C-alpha cells in the first residue's frame, strides 16, 4: 500500500528547474533517504510532498497526511515546549504523551532558549507528530547537531516510526543517516538518477 506518490513533478524558479519530472512512490511504513549534493532538489521535493510548494507541472497524490521537520527546530520562542506541541495538535493527538515519548516531559514548561539544540529538535519532532501524520518528512533534521546528539535524534525517529507506524522520507547528505533507511533515492540537478534498497 502506498502513502503518497509524485508523478512527473516539475518546479521552476525563473529559468532554473529545481525538479525536472520526478516520479516517487512512498509506501506505508517505508523509510526513504533522499540523497544528493546541495542544490540537487532534495528540499524542494520535500516541500512539494508537504504541500508547501505547488509544482509547475505534474501532481502529488496524497493517500495520507504529511508533516515536515525542518533542519532547524523553528520553535515559537515565547511558547513553552508543551505549548509548541499543542500549537500543532490535531484532534485526537495527545501532546503531553508525545512530549513524553521524546523524553522531554520534564522540560514541558521550558522556553526554547532554555533547551539544548537536541532537545529543541526533539520538541520539533513531537510537534510534527502532533499533526498525526502517516508520512513524516525530515529536511536534514540533524544538520545543526553534533555527532552524538545526531545519533540520539535519529535513534528517536527510528523508535517512534517503529512504535507509531508512519512512513519516513528524510533528505540528507550524510551517508550515516542515509544508511539507516530502507531505500535510497539519489537526486542530481532535479532528477532522480539512482534508486537502491538495502
Model confidence over 17-44: pLDDT tens digits?
Answer: 899 999 999 999 999 999 999 889 999 9
Model confidence over 44-74: pLDDT tens digits?
Answer: 999 999 999 999 999 999 877 899 998 888 9
The pLDDT value recorded for residue 139 is: 94
Domain encompassing residue 126: 76-132
| Assigned domain for 23 exists | yes
| Assigned domain for 128 exists | yes
Report which secondary-structure segment, H or E, holds 177.
helix 175-178
Q: Enumerate the β-bridge partners of residue 27.
A: 2
**Three-class SS state of 174:** coil
Q: Are residues 141 and 198 in the same domain?
A: yes
State CA 115 to chain mean position distance.
21
Q: Are residues 114 and 54 in the same domain?
A: no
pLDDT at 149 over 90: no
| Assigned domain for 70 exists | no
The pLDDT value recorded for residue 146 is: 86
Dihedral, 84, 72, 149, 66 alpha carbons, nearest 10:
70
Q: Shortest CA distance to 24 belongs to which of 5, 40, 42, 8? A: 5
Model confidence over 157-185: pLDDT tens digits?
Answer: 999 999 999 999 999 988 889 999 999 99
Q: Express as a percent the part of the chain with pLDDT over 70.
A: 100
Q: Are 127 and 84 in contact (CB under 8 A)?
A: yes
Burial label, 131 (beta-carbon count in 10 A; 0-12, 13-18, 19+):
middle
Q: Shortest CA distance to 192 belongs to which of 49, 12, 20? A: 20
Q: Are residues 150 and 168 in the same domain?
A: yes
Q: Are residues 60 and 147 in the same domain?
A: yes
Q: Shortest CA distance to 31 belongs to which of 150, 170, 164, 148? A: 170
Dihedral, 20, 21, 26, 30 alpha carbons, nearest 10:
-50
**Last residue of one domain, picked from the residues 132, 155, 177:** 132
Amino acid at each position: 500500500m502506498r502513502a503518497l506518490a509524485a508523478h512527473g513533478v516539475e518546479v521552476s524558479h525563473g529559468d532554473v528547474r529545481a525538479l525536472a519530472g520526478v516520479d516517487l512512490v512512498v509506501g506505508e511504513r517505508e523509510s526513504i533517504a533522499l540523497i544528493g549534493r546541495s542544490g540537487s532538489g532534495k528540499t524542494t521535493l520535500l516541500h512539494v510532498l508537504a504541500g508547501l510548494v505547488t509544482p509547475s507541472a505534474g501532481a502529488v497524490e496524497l493517500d495520507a497526511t504529511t508533516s515536515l521537520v525542518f533542519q532547524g527546530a523553528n520553535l515559537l520562542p515565547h511558547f513553552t515546549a508543551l505549548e509548541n506541541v499543542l500549537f500543532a495538535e490535531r484532534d485526537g493527538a495527545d501532546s503531553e504523551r508525545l512530549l513524553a515519548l521524546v523524553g522531554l516531559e520534564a522540560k514541558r514548561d521550558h522556553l526554547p532558549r532554555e533547551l539544548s539544540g537536541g532537545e529543541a529538535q526533539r520538541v520539533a519532532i513531537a510537534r510534527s507528530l502532533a499533526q498525526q501524520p502517516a508520512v513524516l518528512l525530515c529536511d536534514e533534521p540533524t544538520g545543526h547537531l553534533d555527532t552524538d546528539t545526531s545519533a540520539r535524534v535519529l535513534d528517536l525517529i527510528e523508535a517512534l516510526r517503529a512504535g507509531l507506524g508512519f512512513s519516513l522520507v528524510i533528505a540528507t547528505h550524510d551517508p550515516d543517516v542515509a544508511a539507516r533507511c530502507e531505500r535510497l533515492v539519489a537526486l542530481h540537478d532535479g532528477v532522480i538518477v539512482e534508486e537502491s534498497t538495502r
